[in-house]
Amino acid sequence: MTIGRNEACPCGSGLKYKKCCLGKNATRSVLHTLLLAFGGVILLVCIVLVIKSIRDYEPSSGSKRIWSEEHQHWHQAQ
């Protein structure tokens, strides 16, 4: 069931729907979209930082692993 623009607003304010709640729904969806986009950007930045910290990880000297420049990852020392 849809509410017409000129019908009484269902919130009980006594105003017409177009003067009361019509614009609120559009504003909420834009705000919701912006918040989701912002959250997505923050999540993406966190993932990139975690991946970067994993790639830059250097094990302690007692772990018997060596870095291979050729392969760009760690190898077990023999």
| Gap between the Cα atoms of 12 and 59, Å rounded | 66
| Gap between the Cα atoms of 31 and 8, Å rounded | 26
pLDDT tens by residue, 9-38 = 888 888 998 888 877 766 667 788 899 999
In degrees, to the nearest 5, what angle opens at C-alpha 21 toward C-alphas 19 and 26? 110
Q: What is the pTM of this model?
A: 0.44
pLDDT at 19: 87
Q: Return the structure tokens found at 75.
A: 């190898």
